Amino acid sequence: MNFVIDPPDRPAVAVKGGGAFPVRRIFCIGRNYADHVREMGGDPKSSPPVFFTKPADAVVADGAEIAFAQATTNLHFEGELVVALAGGGKDIASEDDAAALIYGYAAGCDLTRRDHQARAKQAGAPWDTAKGFDQSAPVGAIAPIDAAALGAARLQTRINGDLRQDAPLDQMIWSIPEIIIALSRQFELKAGDLIFTGTPEGVGPLSPGDAAEVAIGDDLQVRFQIS
Ligand code: MN
């Protein structure tokens, strides 16, 4: 194709064992661990799934140095399990069909401008500047494993070595197949999509100089440093 400017780079995430996973879209679910819903002042039983997105080029590789986000005084970490899709569809009918679309899993961090999010919630305004900013999606190498290999792994977030989030994945309100089905009722999912599956309680602020690590079980981890 005769592009009139140089086409932008294709965002990608490394795969354990070699290769790279090209990123098409990043979907995220909010309010998916009961204790985190409570810490944010909500009622987990009355909250339907909340979806938002980040641009594909918000992904940041494992080990990166990330500039403290512009235009915020309250940059928060949210450690999350990330699902990578090898296929897609609309109105996916069953949990088995949804599970069959999964390529693998990674540890990620849904970086959030909490001050923007609080203002957006109050004003009924969009979450784009709270969630979809530059470098807001650190994602570690994707492990092409199946759900059974994850088992009841714990998600643990450490900031400067201090354990700040620690929860088993089975505390999710909406399971991964349920998330995929619900998303497919809103969007046509496709190979290359990443889904951030929500964060447990313990979110908090980051400062310049902080070293963050999200680890899930023995296989998945992402580390980054705020500069
Ligand atoms: Mn999140």
How would DSSP label each residue in 92-160?
Answer: ---HHHHHTTEEEEEEEE--EEHHHHHHHHHHT--SHHHHS-TT-EEB-PBB---HHHHTTPEEEEEET
d(CA 63, CA 222): 7
Report how far ligand 1's centroid is from the alpha carbon of 173 (Å). 13
Structure confidence at residue 5 (pLDDT): 97
Q: For every one of its 227 residues, what pLDDT tens digit does the chain have, with 9 covering 90 and above?
A: 899 999 999 999 999 999 999 999 999 999 899 888 888 888 876 767 889 999 999 999 999 999 999 999 999 999 999 999 999 999 999 999 999 999 999 999 999 999 999 999 999 999 999 999 999 999 999 999 988 888 889 999 999 999 999 999 999 999 999 999 999 999 999 999 999 999 999 999 999 999 999 999 999 999 999 99
d(CA 227, CA 224): 10
Domain segments of the chain: what residues?
A: 12-226
Out of 3.90.850.10, 3.40.50.720, 3.30.390.30, 3.30.720.110, the CATH code matching 12-226 is 3.90.850.10
Report how far ligand 1's centroid is from the alpha carbon of 20 (Å). 24
Report how far ligand 1's centroid is from the alpha carbon of 78 (Å). 5
DSSP label at residue 6: P
Report how far ligand 1's centroid is from the alpha carbon of 29 (Å). 7
Q: Is the dihedral of CA 116, 120, 126, 131 positive or negative?
A: positive
Structure confidence at residue 45 (pLDDT): 67
Give the SS3 label for residue 30: strand
Structure confidence at residue 141 (pLDDT): 98
Among 122, 212, 123, residue whose Cα is nearest residue 165: 212
Report how far ligand 1's centroid is from the alpha carbon of 120 (Å). 15
Say how many C-beta atoms besides its own lie within 10 A of residue 113's C-beta: 24
Report how far ligand 1's centroid is from the alpha carbon of 201 (Å). 11
Structure confidence at residue 149 (pLDDT): 86
